[in-house]
Structure 1
């Protein structure tokens, strides 16, 4: 027979445990079947499809921004070939009608309790979580950059305000040193720094100042483009157009008063200064802080997902796609098209309780390499293998006016009208149609 003290101790222990459990699992202010973090192309593609499937009050999109930007267009804006207004729409205009838009920032993830915390202190619960929060631009990663940006020839197509000044600075350029940089970090659209280099070089020729201009591309990488199948062609073009490419050169400081940019040679750690009359900076980038500090992150701070299924490696009701994920492929809008199709198939099967063979992402991405006003190399490849995954039955390494028109005029319409609405999941179907007539080439 238990003593009074033993029984009392048992009651106290149960109450203590119940209190601790209650504190651990805090009540939620709102609860949804699916919560999507991020109102970029990945988040909107997924939330559009899932909210259409489930109906009202089932899907929430957490996104603080007032505007949605089609950022791949910013190279054309910086090159004077598109108006900035074509790249932006109010966030409310692109948000799925069946989804609940929570206009706030996520500050914390609690995957153990299936909740996220917002900046206003509210807690949002979920059955399934999709993280599509993009990448963080770290302007402070280059000393003096933030203060210099947008003034006196210092610009970046990675900023909504600065990109609108890029072409103005190119037109005002009268000769001297024109510098272009590539950081020693992951970044969205890795081809963008080279694209504006080629567009600016062409503009200097058209403006009659090329003969007194040094075009210098300083990249922290060891080659001009990561996939040799296209990189060899790009390097040959740079040589032909007298673009001086310096490898292993990482921008560390801008001294705007003296018009000097300091680079570190990552091969030998030596510092070298370049005078500039114009400089386009691709800034350092990394995982968003609220992801980096969460249990969802890998060692580098990106959401740790299976590269095939896009499902989190620990939390099976969590998925991620796009720039915030650690998928080992290029961070591009084109990659998101393929990723979104795979993620949605696997997520919908979970929601519906169906056992299926999991859809697998092949690493598809695309980097339309703009090398002139009417010139484009349509690079399409798997970031997983480095092998081409080209849509059309031609050699896409060749410069093409048609490809430039496709990228400049057709793909933006696909983006706004189909990708964001969840109905475009990449060109794999188109590619398969052309497979029977695709010539075999040695890579």
Structure 2
């Protein structure tokens, strides 16, 4: 297909075939407009055939036929109505694409988008879990406002599932969906990368030199996994026994390594905080040990957990149950031990360890090593006027509003709040930001607050989980009564929650704006 991008919302092409529609959907388009009358030439697919293929692919479709050389003002008005009503991005086609471009010009669709790609009531930077959930919550409350999501990726991942993939519990493909299928109805997807913020001008800057204007900005571009911060790591990932569940690409390799290891040394690492899902590094260890225990080979494997932190887990009430599993599996716990380099071919990892006031470097041989990379705010966030000293987007911890720019909010892994960076935290934050952003549009102060809630289902063995739920300051915030689930003890019911209930809640609840158990808490003024 020959696609011509006219704006971030509209592209044109020559005649398309029904078997190309799935590819069009995968490229991020959400609607197709046919500007060609049926029967112009022999063998031409009809509008009904293209429309049926579009519906099968989950796309909207409109037929706005215009006769070549005889385009009328009525055609232009019909095109304008279609482009106003259809979810973007939109692909319009005719025989060559020329009629579609002419109709777009008549509809006024090209005027607002050149160096400045348009203006919206709300612009969301980031189409991950936080961005999609917030957009869906906003549009459920007000479907008439204009909202754009800036996100370059065509694929959306359920990242909490990768730990389960590494333990041969989830299928890898089940953790991914096409981004186009998740953009909420009524939102415009700007498939581009943000390069910076100009909050004094109410603009988001784009990598291609363009910009997007907003009345309210919501920043949730995620966190940067800094694979290059550990010398030698990137060159050996996915081979030489070096793996990480923090990547879609390598989670299945974790599973293979664990299944193949019958003896030797297995290392698991955790870098300096903050990181996304602080429990995930040790989850990888527990699930691996559970597999080895069931296979009867655990006693022949030297398991070591190296964490840069001074404690196994940051919320003390959950540590006793976790230590029982560390002891059960015979794992050697190395506190204040930070991975600083790795030699994959030699199978040697170097750690910097703090012992009292002294720092020493220790080399550890391995047969397999699960590495969690250091993590920081994205570069364009760290260098922006929105950044806190930590580099993340500065926010008030309760309202998630920026302290200096009252029309800017942030949530998810990119915000500076001291909560745990988990999908559960984003799920709780999204409705709060949604109602506060709508209040800002109306010129009002924030109306809801966030208590720091985050959840970390610590998979201590296959079939049991320690369900850590806590808020700011490590305060336990259990969702269930202790007679049903005692989060400080391993539970089979918690495993059911993680294994069976949470994935559909994510795909069909959180990302659809369904606020089950996370209705925003309103501020009592």
TM over 0.5: yes
- Hey, what's the Cα distance between the residues in 2 that align with 1:188 and 1:346? 25
| Structure 2 spans left out of the alignment, 5+ residues | 1-113, 521-525
Say whether 1:184 aligns with 2:275. no
For 2:190 and 2:331, the matched residues in 1 are separated by 47
Name the residue aligned to 1:253: 341
Whether the 8 Å contact between 1:305 and 1:319 is mirrored in structure 2 is yes
Match of 1:435 in 2: none
Name 1:291's counterpart in structure 2. Answer: 381
1:350 alignment partner, one of 420, 440, 456: 440
Question: Which of 151, 175, 181 does residue 239 from structure 2 map onto?
Answer: 151
- The answer to whether the 8 Å contact 2:137/2:430 transfers is no
Q: Which residue of 2 aligns with 1:89?
A: 177
CA distance in 2, matches of 1:266, 1:63: 40
- Greater RCO (CA < 8 Å, at least 6 residues apart): 1
Query: What residue number does 1:193 align with?
Result: 281
The alignment yields a C-alpha RMSD, in angstroms, of 1.7
Name the CA shift for 1:342/1:54 in 2 (closer, same or farther; >3 Å): closer
Equivalent residue runs for 1:248-287 within 5 Å: 248-267=336-355, 268-287=358-377
Separation in structure 1 between the aligned mates of residue 376 and residue 516 of structure 2, nearest angstrom: 26
Q: CA deviation at 1:288?
A: 0.2
Deviates more, 1:388-397 or 1:284-293: 388-397
State the secondary structure of the residue aligned to 1:402. Answer: helix
8 Å CA contact 1:391, 1:427 repeated in 2: no
Q: Any unmatched runs of 5+ in structure 1?
A: 1-25, 430-443
Q: Which residue of 1 aligns with 2:314?
A: 226
Instruction: Give the corresponding residue for 1:9.
Output: none
Q: Distance in 1 between matches of 2:170 and 2:333?
A: 27
Matches within 5 A, 1:2-17: none
Which residue matches 1:361? 450
> Alpha-carbon deviation of 1:401?
1.0
In the other structure, the counterpart of 2:465 is: 376
List per-residue Cα deviations over 1:336-365 (Å, max 9, x = no partner). 121112111211122234566x31111111
1:115 and 2:219 correspond: no
Q: What is the rounded CA distance, in whole Å, between the counterparts of 1:185 and 1:405 in structure 2?
A: 29
Distance in 1 separating the partners of 2:440 and 2:204: 20
Match of 1:209 in 2: 297
Is the CA contact 2:257–2:368 (under 8 Å) kept in the aligned structure 1?
yes
2:180 partner SS: helix
Distance 2:229 2:490 in 1: 35
| Matched residue, 1:418 | 509
Aligned twin of 2:428: 338
Question: What is the rounded CA distance, in whole Å, between the counterparts of 1:271 and 1:355 in structure 2?
Answer: 52
TM-fit CA distance, 1:403? 0.9
Q: 2:496 aligns with which of 405, 408, 411?
A: 405
Q: What residue in structure 2 maps to residue 20 of structure 1?
A: none
Q: How many residues align?
A: 403
- Does structure 1 residue 46 correspond to structure 2 residue 134? yes
Specify the alignment match of 1:310 in structure 2. Answer: 400
SS of structure 2 residue aligned to 1:385: helix
Task: Report whether the alignment pairs 1:124 with 2:215.
Answer: no
> Which range is displaced more, 138-147 or 40-49?
40-49
Inter-partner Cα distance in structure 1 for 2:370 and 2:137: 38
1:386 corresponds, among 464, 474, 486, to: 474
Cα deviation per residue 1:128-153 (whole Å; 9 max; x = unaligned)? Answer: 00001110000001110001100021
1:304–1:312 CA contact under 8 A, matched in 2 = yes
Deviation string, structure 1 residues 265-290 (Cα, Å, up to 9, x no partner):
13422000100001000111100001
Q: Is the Cα contact below 8 Å between 1:414 and 1:424 reproduced in 2? A: no
Shift, 1:373, TM fit: 0.9
Q: Are the counterparts in 1 of residues 431 and 519 from structure 2 also a CA contact under 8 Å?
A: no
Given that 2:286 and 2:325 are in contact with CA atoms closer than 8 Å, whether structure 1 keeps it comes out as no
TM-score, structure 1 length as denominator?
A: 0.88
